[in-house]
Chain A
Amino acid sequence: MSAVILPAGTRVLRLAGGRLSLRVDRRGTVVVLALTGFVLGLAALAVTLGEYPLTLGQIVGAFAGTESDGVRRIVVDGRLPRIVMAAVAGAALALSGAIFQSMTRNPLGSPDIIGFTTGAYTGALLVTLVVGGNYIAQAWGALAGGLAAAILVYVLAYTRGVQGFRLIVVGIAVSAMLHAVNGWLILRARLEEALAAATWGAGSFNEVGWRETVPVLVAVAVLVPLLVVFARPLALLEMGDDAARSLGVRPEVTRGILLVVGVALVAAITAAAGPISFVALAAPQLARRLARSAGVSLLPSAAMGAALLLASDVLAQRLLAPTQLPVGVITVCVGGVYLVALLISQARRQ
């Protein structure tokens, strides 16, 4: 083995007598640890907040079984699934965003852009407003709509390979058409139905319990390992298809698999809570800036996504309490403000 020159701030961790080695980025690790700490602290705070404020002692008691049944139910069945869902969904969305951004080599690449989010909304609207299905049917409708939109975008963007920029623009076009369909469906529906559909369409954890959370946890547990395995050639793909091909990566196959996994990840979240925009867009870039890494990296992105979505959900619950805002309203504001701030700070640096 010849000596490899590592980037500054990187250490190599060798385990099992050098058979297993791991490259560790020091700043990245610190960022991940700090964000994880933040998420845990925020989760602890979120359990205590609500219509019925609790102390941390009561929370511990609820888990230990020393508190009353009512408190136990509020904590374990009411608040805990929502917190778990927010953190896991944030991480999953951010991972998906990280993949899309790396794949399209563009910081604007995200599942929102490739039409998935709008397609999921169209699917759910068709099921609830036209067919008249229940919650489960709505989730499947969202899944089908999102996947159909994503496939349509991918196929339309395909001419002898898929280029990142073309994928984004085709996604914008398809989203716009679906957006028009959504507007029309809402226009034709009765007010209550339309309002319920629009609330779902904003992305909300307000109705989330274990029934919605458990399937998401299962999906994430299956998909994330797949993603980690297939994301390895992604760094090579960022150098361009030709360079990657000469290094033994098959660009189309890798991209195809990652697209499916990324979309499936978002689909699971969307089916449970509705389309939550901008987390997938903002989290990977925020993480990249904090970790000062050259490209988008998965672990910091996931930690940032969890922190971002959990914080947004706490805000959505408490900002106008007792009125509960859909969390998507907060994330879209946070994401947009982030983009504006980014533009201004870049201008200052020039």
Chain B
Amino acid sequence: MSGSLDSVRLRTPAAAVKSGRWGILHSTRSRSLLLVATCVALLLLSGGSMFVGSGSIAPDAVIGALMSGGSDTDSILVTDYRVPRTLLGVVVGVALGLAGALMQAITRNPLADPGILGVNSGAYFAVVLGITVFGASGVTSYVWWAFAGAILTTVAVFLVGSRGRAGATPVRLVLAGVAIGAVLSGISLGITLLNPDTFDRIRFWSVGSLQSRQIDILWGVLPFIVLGTLVALVLSRTLNVVALGDDLAKSLGAHVMRTRVFGLVAITLLCGAATAAVGPISFLGLMAPYVARAMFGPDQRWVVPFTLVIAPVIFLGADMLGRVAVSSELPVGIVTAFVGAPILIVIIRRKQARPL
């Protein structure tokens, strides 16, 4: 069943040394410099995000609103919409990037993404169910449905993917994710087609957008994302050993199963909260760790922290691009798909489908 999918695995540190394909940066000094530079870029982008929008607000008005508040329309637009939107963009970017890095490390599959493990579909399905059966309305109530859906799907995917003595191999996990995701989106489609009202409401959530998200959504998802981020950072050391393969990792004394379980907990927290807040976003979880590995090589102690900074940079950049590209605003989910998919194609072309 697995065949050629099996051959796509993350380069292990050992294999990378042998093939001489470390990342671009070698010395600790240049790596630290890049990390700091990316942090600065994130700060600059966050600042810039205050000044960009579909309605044009004069820069000094923006600064005035940020400094002293104010009750005119422009000030309210800045403090109640642009500020929460930017903060949420950073938080969701961190969450999705880290979730992608964890997924790729745990499944040893460089192509893993929240979309592939079915988490987006699970969240989407739960929101459809919430709207249709339980009359949920408004993003604040979608949050909890999406969260529940993401958790249940991740657990289901893991249970199906890890049955049998062989356990959760990369290929089986991905296949389980694809299969369960397909069933859930099929049922969601059936429900929405039979309920035009649900269809109308969900189509605005389902593309993935930061538009008109206010501060309450940020507070709603922040605790989960903080918790997930902490777990991910703690795990990053063990992930290096897990990348060597189950047998070798076990013989080196790593608790492979425990790492996987905690990894999945973190993935669920991060993906569920992010998807709940902004809708399904694809490819950010694929892109950010890819860029990190290209820069730093396969060492997860560098990949995880760098992903943490580069992911919100990409995400905020994509959101700002969407705000100015089209007069009626392009949802950020569409921009990330258009930026991320070509990167996926580049990966697969450059490595000529050999193990990455």
With A202-B189, A340-B160 known as contacts, the answer to whether A173 contacts B183 (CB < 8 A) is no
- CB of A219 within 8 Å of the partner chain: no
A344 to B283, CA, bound (A): 28
* Smallest beta-carbon distance B190→chain A, Å: 4
**How many Å from the CB of A198 to the closest CB on chain B?**
6
Contact B337 A176 (CB under 8 A): yes
Q: Contact: A332 with B5, CB < 8 Å?
A: no
Task: Enumerate B143-202 residues with CB–CB distance to A below 8 Å.
Answer: 160-161, 163-166, 172, 175-176, 178-187, 189-190, 192-194, 196, 199-200
A336–B182 CB distance below 8 A: yes
From B172, which residue of chain A is reached at the shortest CB distance?
A343
Which residue of the partner chain, among B7, B176, B203, contacts A343 with CB atoms under 8 Å? B176
> Is chain A's interface secondary structure helix, strand, loop, or mixed overall?
helix
Q: A166 at the A/B interface (Cβ < 8 Å)? A: yes
Interface pair B176/A340, CB less than 8 Å apart: yes
B111 / chain A contacts, CB cutoff of 8 Å: 169
Q: Cβ of B179 and Cβ of A340 under 8 Å apart?
A: yes
Q: Are the CB atoms of A187 and B207 closer together than 8 Å?
A: yes
B263 to chain A, nearest CB (A): 20
Q: Which chain B residue shows the least CB distance to A184?
A: B334
Of A156, A186, A343, the most chain B CB neighbours within 10 A belong to: A343
Identity of the chain B residue whose Cβ is nearest the Cβ of A191 in the assembled complex: B200
Quote the shortest CB–CB distance from B351 to chain A (angstroms).
9
User: Which of the residues B172, B199, B207, B341 comes within 8 Å of A184, measured between beta carbons?
Assistant: B207
User: Which of B72-80, B243-251, B342-350 forms contacts with chain A?
Assistant: B342-350
Number of interface residues of A (CB under 8 A): 56
Contact B204 A187 (CB under 8 A): yes
| Binary B-proximity of A282-326 (CB < 8 A = 1, otherwise 0) | 000000000000000000000000000000000000001001011
Tell me the complex Cα distance, A326–B188, Å.
12
Q: Is A36 an interface residue (CB 8 A)?
A: no
A339 touches B175 (CB 8 A): yes
The reply to whether B199 and A198 contact each other, CB–CB distance below 8 Å, is: yes
Contact of B1 among A105, A166, A346 (CB under 8 A): A346
B4 at the interface (CB under 8 A from A): yes
Q: A177-B338, A333-B183, A350-B164 are in contact. Are A184 and B4 (CB under 8 A)?
A: no
Question: Is B348 in contact with A191, judged by CB distance below 8 angstroms?
Answer: no
User: Separation in Å of the A205 CB from the closest CB of chain B?
Assistant: 14
Interface residues of B in 234-288 (CB under 8 A from A): 282-283
Residue of A184, A346, A348 near B330 (CB, 8 A) is A184
Contact segment of A40-48, A157-165, A225-233, A245-253:
A157-165
Q: A156-B345, A342-B1 are in contact. Are A323 and B194 (CB under 8 A)?
A: yes
Q: Out of B200, B337, B352, which one reaches A180, CB within 8 Å?
A: B337
Decide: A347 and B331 in contact? CB cutoff 8 A. Answer: no
Give the docked Cα–Cα distance between A176 and B286 (Å). Answer: 13
Q: Are A344 and B163 in contact, with the CB atoms below 8 A?
A: yes
The answer on a CB contact under 8 Å between A163 and B352 is yes
Bound complex: CA A10 to CA B303 (Å): 55
Task: Verify if B138 is at the interface (C-beta below 8 Å from A).
Answer: no
Report A19-56 residues with CB < 8 Å from chain B CB: none
Give the residue name and chain of the A residue nearest to B193 (CB). Answer: A199
A276 to B: closest C-beta gap in Å: 12
Q: A99-119: which have CB < 8 Å to B?
A: 104-108
Closest to A199 in B: B193
Interface band, chain B: 35 or more
Are B160 and A344 touching (Cβ within 8 A)? yes
Q: Are A340 and B183 in contact (CB under 8 A)?
A: yes
Q: B348 contacts A170, CB within 8 Å?
A: yes
B4 close to A107 (CB less than 8 A): no
* CA distance in complex: A198, B191 (Å): 12
Q: Is B135 an interface residue (CB 8 A)?
A: no
Contact B199 A166 (CB under 8 A): no
Q: How distant is the Cα of A191 from the Cα of B199 in the complex, in angstroms?
A: 8
Known: A159-B352, A177-B337. A164 touches B4 (CB 8 A): yes
Are B334 and A332 in contact, CB atoms less than 8 angstroms apart?
A: no
Q: A339 CA to B1 CA in the complex, in Å?
A: 11
| 0/1 interface trace, chain A 174-210, chain B, CB 8 Å (1 if under) | 1011011101101110010011001100100000000
Q: Considering only CB atoms, which chain A residue lies closest to B162 in the complex?
A: A347
> Within the assembled complex, what's the spacing in Å between the Cα atoms of A177 and B339?
9
Chain A residues with Cβ below 8 Å from B333 are 180, 183
Picked from A107, A169, A180, the residue with its CB within 8 Å of the CB of B338 is: A180
B: which residues have CB within 8 A of A?
A: 1, 3-5, 7-8, 111, 115, 160-161, 163-166, 172, 175-176, 178-187, 189-190, 192-194, 196, 199-200, 203-204, 206-207, 282-283, 328, 330-331, 333-334, 337-338, 340-342, 344-345, 348-349, 352-353
Chain A residues close to B by CB (< 8 Å): 104-108, 156-157, 159, 163-166, 169-170, 172-174, 176-177, 179-181, 183-184, 186-188, 191, 194-195, 198-199, 202, 277-278, 320, 323, 325-326, 328-329, 332-333, 335-340, 342-344, 346-348, 350
Leading 6 A-B pairs by shortest Cβ distance: A347-B164, A332-B186, A336-B183, A339-B179, A180-B337, A347-B163
Known A165-B7, A166-B352, A339-B178; further 20 A-B contacts with Cβ < 8 A: A163-B353, A164-B4, A169-B345, A169-B353, A170-B345, A173-B342, A174-B345, A176-B344, A183-B334, A191-B196, A191-B200, A195-B199, A323-B194, A325-B190, A329-B186, A337-B183, A339-B182, A343-B172, A343-B175, A347-B163
28 A-B pairs with CB atoms under 8 Å apart are A107-B1, A107-B3, A159-B349, A159-B352, A165-B5, A165-B8, A166-B348, A174-B345, A176-B340, A176-B341, A177-B341, A179-B337, A183-B207, A183-B333, A187-B203, A187-B207, A194-B203, A325-B190, A332-B183, A335-B182, A339-B176, A343-B161, A343-B163, A343-B176, A343-B179, A344-B163, A346-B1, A350-B166
